[in-house]
Structure formats: C-alpha cells, structure tokens
C-alpha cells in the first residue's frame, strides 16, 4: 500500500492515529477481497452500443495486452455508484466528442474478480443501503446519514484513509499509457490513476459542498461553482476550525457545470419549445427520475398521485424513469391502483427494455412530431445501466419540468423542482440552482412539493422565467464545464491531444 498521500495532503500533516487506521483498513480489504497487487491485468476495447453516437468505447478485462487506442483518446474513469457519476461521465464523453476527441470509458466497478472492483462494490452496497434507510427512518437520517454526508465526508482524515485504499486499485492500470489524458468523475479513479503514475489526471468534483472525500492530490481539480471553488481552494472546514494549507492555483480550476454537448447546444431551442407549449395551453410535461439507489419511493408515489387529476384533465403529462429499478415500478403499481385504470384507457404506457424505441419517442417529440404521443403517463425502465441513465438525458430535452432530488441533476439546464435531498451535501445543489434561477429551492416535504407542482401549473410564468434564466446562464458560460475541463486537460498533455 502507498501511504505517501495519506501522511500529508497538500502539505497538511495527518496524525499518526489516522495513518494507522488507513493501514488497518487496507489490511482488512486485502484479507477480505484478496491481494492482487502483483497481478498485471490487461485491457481491451469493446463497443458501447448505447453511447456509440458519442464515439465511446469501453475498457474491459482481457487476456492480452491493450495494443492500441483510438485517435485523440481521453479516458473517462468512473464508478457505478448510483447514477450520478455515470451521468457526469456521459457529459464528458459528449463534450469530448464535440471537441474532436475519442472518449474511452473505464469503470473501475466493472472489473470483476479484481480487488479494485470488490472494494468499490462493497462500498457502493453500503452507500445504497444507507440512502434507502435514510428515507425510511427519520432518526437514522438525522443522527447518522445527514451528518455523515455533510460533515463526516468533509474531514481531511477521511480522505487520508481513502488515499491508502485507492492505492490497492492500481493493477487495472497496467496497460494504460502514463501520459494519456484521464478524466475521473469520482475521487477513487482519480486517486488510483495518480497512484498508478498517470501524469495528466483531472478530478471532476460533483455537487456544491466542499468535502475532503473528493480530493485527489496530484490531479487537477475541476469545480462547478464559484462558492465551491473557494471552499476547496482553502480546504474550508476540513479539519474543524483549523486553518489548513491551501491548494495552489495549479491544483484547481473553476469550469462551470458538467453538461452534455447535446443539451448545451440546444438550450435556446428547447427553452423556446417549453415556452411555446405553455402559451399554447399544452399539457405541462413533468419528468420524474428515480436515483441510482432506488430511494424515495413513497415520496414519488405521493407526487404521482397528486398529478393524476391534472393528467386526466390533460393539463399535465408525466414521464417517469425508474432507471434499472423495476422493483420501484412494481411498487408503484401496488400502491397506486389508479394506474390500472389509466393503463386501460391508454393514459399509462410503458417503455421497457427498448432503448431504440425510447430514442425514437424522444426524437419525434424533440422535432414536435406527434406531440399528442406525450399525453398521459409514460414509464421508462431498462436493465442496462447505460440505457437507464441516458434515457433521462433524452427525455430532458422534451420535458418542461424535471422533478429531482438536488443531486448531479441540479446542475442541468432544464427547469427543476427540487425535492427532498438524500444526504446533507445535496442541499447546496438546490441552493445554487435557485440562485442561478433554473430551479426551485428544496421542497423537503410532500406538501411543499405538491404546492410547487400546483404553482407551476397555475402560474406558467414561473416556467417561462426559469427558461429565460437558463438562456442567460448559458451566455455566462455556466453550463460549459465539460468543455472547459477537457480544454484544461488538453493544456497539460500535448502528446495525446
């Protein structure tokens, strides 16, 4: 294990107790998941059918060494932990292709039988369980989950332990050229890449609440908001009230929000269509997304029930993407008996396991063909993680209001109704969105959420104002984060770019 970045982080010395804890954690992982530090894993490129339009190929385990990479490659290092890190990775893949580069997908949680993936999978399982429990138990959420996600992950000592653990993930980097550009959408791939000796690493930090969890010394840190930039720059609050040595200007940059090229380039057109639909008295289209952990089921049920009368009167329509959580849809069917009646009358349609059909559905509505096809309720599900996540991106362009917890989606250029967060860190995403003017404040209760839905439907000018704010935000470069991060990475490595 490598403890160099555990003992000192940006010149801040870590106490011996934490260093011992880091050693103990690594030994525990090695005992539980096996020690493959001397194994040389090989990789190969594989087509990514869902993201083929973005020119993206996957790296997979192979028996033979990696022989070549596509022209102008950028590796996008990520992990499947919820949907957020995948969605941000897709934004970078889209922006990379638009700028003339070839995105290569490297999911550290996809290399089965490696210690790397076993560690990440175990942590993902714990985090998903915590997310679901936090929505079922107010006491667990108040006493443990909220503090962990806002203050526990904020501590520099937490990063010190993670740095040691991520050094165990380096064997999967055997075939990767050391100077190839590498964008990480989670700290673990970034830390692992740096430990593996990669020289051109960008660590794309999510959310809007500075936490040491996201640090990766040795990488360039990209930040989405100005307030978060300053917090990360001085490592604010990461050791209580102690003033820490700050990052240097070479360690960190402000970029703006990480958004797909397809969404950024069509902001004016999509907002114009939203405003026109409101003026024409068309049903307002709400998009409800289920997160990667499958939490907030009862909250969603209450939202759907509140919209049913409006849908019946053709004042609203609803798109629900349950992602790869079919059990969530089955729970909806059990607890919302009215859905059977809607299905019989043709007002509730399912779009399951057919990504091509979803693309066709979205494309026709994007070009304003067969607008009546959007009426009623539409449920989307796909067991393929890429299809499950990217379906939301396709649906955003044809939706009027996105109903979401203030996760990575809080930064996307679509009018948003922010519902109750899952973890204290998410609160700041809603605050930022409300200040930009492209979303509401966080509606923490069912009652306040339903009240805001009623406000959107009874006062269409709210939607129009948000659309105008989105257009102005685009002019200010707020949604250019993916482009700017790639450009910054290009300056650091000329050989591959």
Q: Which residue has the tokens 């989105």?
A: 470
- How high is the pLDDT of residue 295? 56
- 10: left (phi > 0), else alpha (psi -120 to 50), else beta? left
- How high is the pLDDT of residue 127? 76
Average pLDDT of the segment spanning 343-350: 93
- How high is the pLDDT of residue 420? 92
CA dist list (Å): 22 to 74, 122, 200, 282 = 31, 17, 26, 58
Spatial separation of the C-alpha atoms in residues 157 and 143, rounded to whole Å: 21
Please write the tens of the pLDDT for every residue from 437-472.
Answer: 999 999 999 999 999 999 999 999 999 999 999 999
Please write the tens of the pLDDT for every residue from 93-143.
Answer: 999 999 999 999 999 999 999 999 999 999 888 877 887 788 788 888 888
Distance of CA 42 to the CA centre of its chain: 28
User: By the 8 A CB rule, do 41 and 174 touch?
Assistant: yes
Within 257-415, strands assigned E span: 284-289, 316-321, 348-352, 377-381, 401-404
Q: What is the 8-class DSSP label of residue 145? A: I
Tokens representing 201 are 């690493």
What is the arrangement of strands in the sheet containing 220-223, beginning at the earlier edge strand? 42-47, 57-62, 102-107, 73-78, 182-184, 201-204, 220-223, 252-254
* Residue 204 predicted with pLDDT over 90: yes
- How high is the pLDDT of residue 494? 59
Please write the tens of the pLDDT for every residue from 304-319.
Answer: 999 999 999 999 999 9
What is the model's pTM? 0.94
Select the more confidently predicted residue: 53 or 148.
53
| Cβ neighbours for 431, distance < 8 A, ≥ 6 positions apart | 208, 441, 442
Spatial separation of the C-alpha atoms in residues 9 and 361, rounded to whole Å: 49
| Cβ neighbours for 488, distance < 8 A, ≥ 6 positions apart | 202, 220, 222, 253, 255
Residue 151 pLDDT level (bands cut at 50, 70, 90): confident
* Residue 497 predicted with pLDDT over 60: no
Written as one string, the DSSP assignment of 60-106 is EEESS------SSEEEEEE--STTHHHHHHHHHHHHHHHTT-EEEEE
**Mean pLDDT across the chain:** 93
Q: What is the longest distance spanned by two Cα atoms in the chain?
A: 67
How large a percentage of the chain has pLDDT more than 90? 84
* Residue 294 predicted with pLDDT over 60: no
Spatial separation of the C-alpha atoms in residues 280 and 283, rounded to whole Å: 9
Spatial separation of the C-alpha atoms in residues 36 and 247, rounded to whole Å: 33
Nearest-5° Cα angle at 303, 297 to 309: 140
* Number of Cβ within a 10 Å radius of residue 138: 9
* Residue 424 predicted with pLDDT over 90: no
Spatial separation of the C-alpha atoms in residues 73 and 56, rounded to whole Å: 10
Residue 367 pLDDT level (bands cut at 50, 70, 90): confident
Please write the tens of the pLDDT for every residue from 212-270.
Answer: 999 999 999 999 999 999 999 999 999 999 999 999 999 999 999 999 999 999 999 99
- How high is the pLDDT of residue 395? 97
How large a percentage of the chain has pLDDT more than 70? 97
* Number of Cβ within a 10 Å radius of residue 461: 9
| Cβ neighbours for 111, distance < 8 A, ≥ 6 positions apart | 41, 60, 61, 117, 172
Sort strands 42-47 and 57-62 into parallel, antiparallel or unpaired.
Answer: antiparallel
User: By the 8 A CB rule, do 78 and 108 touch?
Assistant: yes
User: By the 8 A CB rule, do 154 and 423 touch?
Assistant: no
Tokens representing 256 are 């703006």
Residue 496 pLDDT level (bands cut at 50, 70, 90): very low
Please write the tens of the pLDDT for every residue from 163-197.
Answer: 999 999 999 999 999 999 999 999 999 999 999 99
Backbone torsions φ then ψ of 367, nearest 5 degrees: -90, 15
Spatial separation of the C-alpha atoms in residues 490 and 394, rounded to whole Å: 28
């Amino acid at each position: 294990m490598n403890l160099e970045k555990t003992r000192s982080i940006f010149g801040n010395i870590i106490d011996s107790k934490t260093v011992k804890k880091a050693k103990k954690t690594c030994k525990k992982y090695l005992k539980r998941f096996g020690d493959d530090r001397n194994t040389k894993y090989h990789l190969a490129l594989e087509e990514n059918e869902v993201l083929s339009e973005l020119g993206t190929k996957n790296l997979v385990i192979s028996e033979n060494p990696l022989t070549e990479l596509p022209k102008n490659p950028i590796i996008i290092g990520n992990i499947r932990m919820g949907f957020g890190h995948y969605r941000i990775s897709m934004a970078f893949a889209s922006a990379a292709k638009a700028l003339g580069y070839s995105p290569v997908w490297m999911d550290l949680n996809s290399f089965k039988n490696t210690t790397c993936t076993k560690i990440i999978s175990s942590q993902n399982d714990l985090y998903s369980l915590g997310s679901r429990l936090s929505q079922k138990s107010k006491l667990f959420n108040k006493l443990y989950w909220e503090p962990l996600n806002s203050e526990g992950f904020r501590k520099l000592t937490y990063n010190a332990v993670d740095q040691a653990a991520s050094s165990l993930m380096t064997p999967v980097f055997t075939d990767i050229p050391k100077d190839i550009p590498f964008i990480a959408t989670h700290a673990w791939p970034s830390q692992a890449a740096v430990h593996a000796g990669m020289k051109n690493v960008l660590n794309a930090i999510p959310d809007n609440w500075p936490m040491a969890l996201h640090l990766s010394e040795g990488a360039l840190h990209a930040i989405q908001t100005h307030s978060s930039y300053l917090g990360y720059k001085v490592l604010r609050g990461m050791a209580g009230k102690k003033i820490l040595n700050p990052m240097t200007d070479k360690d960190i940059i402000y970029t703006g929000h990480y958004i797909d090229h397809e969404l950024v380039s069509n902001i004016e057109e999509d907002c114009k269509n939203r405003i026109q639909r409101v003026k024409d008295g068309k049903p307002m289209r709400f998009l409800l997304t289920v997160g990667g952990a499958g939490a907030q089921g009862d909250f969603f049920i209450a939202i759907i029930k509140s919209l049913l009368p409006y849908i019946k009167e053709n004042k609203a329509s609803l798109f629900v993407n349950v992602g790869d959580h079919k059990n969530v849809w089955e729970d909806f069917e059990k607890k919302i008996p009215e859905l059977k009646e809607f299905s019989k009358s043709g007002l509730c349609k399912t779009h399951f396991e057919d990504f091509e059909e979803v693309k066709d559905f979205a494309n026709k509505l994007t070009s304003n063909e067969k607008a009546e096809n959007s009426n009623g309720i539409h449920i989307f599900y796909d067991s393929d993680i890429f299809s499950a996540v990217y379906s939301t991106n396709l649906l955003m362009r044809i939706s009027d209001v996105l109903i979401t917890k203030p996760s990575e989606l809080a930064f996307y250029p679509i009018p948003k109704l922010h519902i109750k967060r899952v973890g204290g860190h998410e609160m700041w995403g809603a605050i930022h969105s409300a200040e930009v003017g492209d979303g509401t404040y966080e509606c923490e209760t069912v009652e306040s959420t339903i009240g805001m839905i009623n406000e959107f439907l009874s006062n269409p000018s709210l939607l129009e104002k948000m659309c105008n704010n989105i257009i102005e935000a685009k002019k200010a470069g707020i949604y250019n984060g993916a482009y700017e991060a790639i450009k910054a990475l290009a300056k650091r490595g000329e050989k591959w770019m």
